Amino acid sequence: MFPFTRDPKDPQPAAEAAAPAPKAPEAHPLDALTGGVFSAATSGERAQRVRDWLATEPEPAQMQEVFKELSAKDKGAAKALREKLDELRRAREQDTVAAEWQAKAQALLDAARLNIADALAWQRDAAKAGAPLSREPLAGLRTQLVERIKAVEDLQQRVMVQREAAALLAQRIELLSTKPWAEAQQQQDALQADVTHWQAQAAALQADGQWPSVDMRFPPQLEAAQSQLNAVWSAFVPALAQAVAAAQDAAAPLPPVPLWADELRAARGEAPVAEATPPAPAKPRVDPEQRQAATKAVEAGVMLLEQAVAAGHSKNMNSATQALRQSLKTNGRLIDEALEARVHAALVSAGELGGWQRWSADKAREQLVARAEALLVPRKPRRQPPAGAPAAAATAESPVETPTESAADVVEAPAAPVAEAPAEAAEAAPEVPTAAAEPIAADTVAS
């Protein structure tokens, strides 16, 4: 028999001795580009290699291609790529919006006249559109617009201050015409310096680079103030010079300022000139037909009010009063004095009647309250016969005592209103036959 064991020295079969080596997997075409993203063994390792590759700032086209291949294999690892691509897309959109609003802001700055409302609207609309105002170049343009707006507003404020200064200077000059001419002469140099300084400031305002951008209402205001100041000053200087000449030469004409002229006349020993009283303005002529129509309208209203007052109708009186007041307001300038006095008398009568009606209503209310309180006063109780009295005595006394008690009740309550007497009599009357019927019934039972 052959042995079942095999000698270890026996050679092994060829199939068992040399097994074929497994084939290595083919590398992904993008694996070399991404640093082994596609050859990573686990998802976490793959995500880490994606982040490392994104740190090298690859091209957007390469990222798009890698994302397309990787999202089909591992969406978790492709999340970082998707976020990066979304960020790049938003950045491109913001760059487009920023370029659009940059052009608009530059157009506002390059214009000769900056409209403050348009500049403020640019900031508001750019923020609504999602433009990156905190990044350049929009941040710098925004700063330039804010500074330009502030410069224009400051210039407008200076214009208002300059206008008020011109008004105060004009008042100072006019006030000197109410003082002696010598005092005005002493202040002439100071006033001259102030006027010259004001004119220099006004010229500087108009020469400012932001002057075309101020609101349209400010240049006319400054021009009007300048014209008024120049007119007052140009009238003051010749008048003062004429006053000085008249003080030195008695034959020189007097200045047109009344106070200075009177002062110089007094110095020369001349009598002051009395001022002529201006004639009273004549009343304008009124068409007779118009006056007649107005008189008829007012007379009709007065008659209605007088009739309402005579009748004492408050409702008609109120409506007639309102109608008369409206007619007087419309035609009051066209009626004569007699009719106007009649109107006022009728209105006064209507007011007095209204006051009397209120007084009479108050008195009637007080009387009703007094009568109601009197009804609440308790009555005196009636006297009852003794319980042990005989029936015959009750029968004999009842017809006499009943009217006596009724009369006593009436006499004992004189303060009660008159309206209570009939009520008490009505209550006392039926008591007589009732009291008399009681002994009759007793006799019938006894028999």
The DSSP result for 307-341, as a single string, is HHHHHT-HHHHHHHHHHHHHHHHHHGGGS-HHHHH
pLDDT exceeds cutoff 50 at 267: yes
Three-class DSSP category at 413: coil
Tell me the two tokens of residue 248.
């030195």
One domain, residues 351 and 246: no
Query: Is residue 48 within 8 Å of 73, Cβ to Cβ?
Result: no
One domain, residues 352 and 299: yes
Backbone φ, ψ for residue 54 (5° rounding): -65, -25
Overall number of domains in the chain: 4
pLDDT exceeds cutoff 50 at 431: no
Q: What is the pLDDT of residues 99-112, one digit of tens each?
A: 889 899 999 888 88
One domain, residues 264 and 303: no
The answer to whether residue 281 is domain-embedded is: no
The answer to whether residue 120 is domain-embedded is: no
One domain, residues 213 and 250: yes
pLDDT at 274: 53
DSSP classification of residue 364: H
The rounded distance, in Å, linking the Cα atoms of 360 and 356 is: 6
One domain, residues 263 and 323: no
pLDDT at 439: 39
Burial of 246 (0-12, 13-18, 19+ CB in 10 A): buried
CA-angle at 339, arms to 338 and 340, nearest 5°:
90
pLDDT at 278: 54
Backbone φ, ψ for residue 267 (5° rounding): -70, -30
One domain, residues 73 and 163: no
One domain, residues 349 and 418: no
Sign of torsion over alpha carbons 323, 329, 330, 331: positive
Whether the upstream peptide bond of residue 422 has omega within 30° of 0, thus cis, is no
What is the pLDDT of the chain when averaged over all its residues? 75
The answer to whether residue 142 is domain-embedded is: no
Q: What is the pLDDT of residues 193-224, one digit of tens each?
A: 999 999 999 999 999 989 999 999 999 999 99
One domain, residues 307 and 337: yes
Query: Is residue 382 within 8 Å of 405, Cβ to Cβ?
Result: yes
In the chain, the N- to C-terminal Cα span, in Å, equals 171
The rounded distance, in Å, linking the Cα atoms of 311 and 50 is: 107
pLDDT at 339: 84
The answer to whether residue 16 is domain-embedded is: no
Q: Of the candidates 42, 88, 90, 87, which has an alpha carbon nearest to the alpha carbon of residue 50?
A: 42
The percentage of the chain sitting over the pLDDT mark of 70, rounded to a whole number, equals 69
The rounded distance, in Å, linking the Cα atoms of 246 and 244 is: 5
pLDDT exceeds cutoff 80 at 413: no
| Lowest-confidence pick of 269-278, 387-396, 426-435 | 426-435
The answer to whether residue 382 is domain-embedded is: no
One domain, residues 197 and 262: yes
pLDDT exceeds cutoff 60 at 81: yes
pLDDT band at 425 (very low <50, low <70, confident <90, very high): very low
Three-class DSSP category at 68: helix
One domain, residues 351 and 425: no
The rounded distance, in Å, linking the Cα atoms of 294 and 340 is: 12
pLDDT at 353: 60
Domain that holds residue 351: 288-375
pLDDT at 363: 74
The answer to whether residue 89 is domain-embedded is: no
pLDDT at 318: 82
pLDDT exceeds cutoff 90 at 281: no
pLDDT at 437: 38
The answer to whether residue 282 is domain-embedded is: no
Q: How far is CA 191 from CA 121, 162, 222, 230, 242, in A?
A: 46, 16, 20, 12, 18
Q: What is the pLDDT of residues 343-382, one digit of tens each?
A: 888 888 877 665 556 656 777 888 888 888 888 876 666 6
Angle between helices 188-207 and 218-248 (to 10 degrees): 160
Which of the two residues, 204 and 250, has the higher pLDDT score?
204
The answer to whether residue 127 is domain-embedded is: no
| Lowest-confidence pick of 6-10, 110-114, 135-139, 374-378 | 6-10
pLDDT at 337: 83
Which of the two residues, 138 and 289, has the higher pLDDT score?
138
pLDDT band at 295 (very low <50, low <70, confident <90, very high): confident
pLDDT exceeds cutoff 60 at 314: yes
Angle between helices 288-311 and 314-331 (to 10 degrees): 160
pLDDT band at 146 (very low <50, low <70, confident <90, very high): very high
pLDDT at 383: 65
pLDDT exceeds cutoff 70 at 132: yes
Q: How many residues in total does the chain contain?
A: 447
Question: Which range has the top average pLDDT, 142-151, 295-304, 412-421?
Answer: 142-151
The rounded distance, in Å, linking the Cα atoms of 150 and 214 is: 11
pLDDT exceeds cutoff 70 at 97: yes
| Lowest-confidence pick of 135-139, 173-177, 310-314, 427-431 | 427-431
What average pLDDT score do residues 77-94 get? 81
What average pLDDT score do residues 257-273 get? 82
Question: In Å, how far from its chain's centre is CA 307?
Answer: 48
Query: Is residue 208 within 8 Å of 155, Cβ to Cβ?
Result: yes
What average pLDDT score do residues 393-400 get? 42
Q: Which of 77, 93, 108 finishes a domain?
A: 77
What average pLDDT score do residues 393-412 get? 40
One domain, residues 293 and 371: yes
Number of other residues whose CB lies within 10 A of the CB of residue 439: 17
| Lowest-confidence pick of 174-178, 274-278, 325-329, 440-444 | 440-444
Tell me the two tokens of residue 39.
């050859």
Which of the two residues, 112 and 435, has the higher pLDDT score?
112
One domain, residues 162 and 221: yes
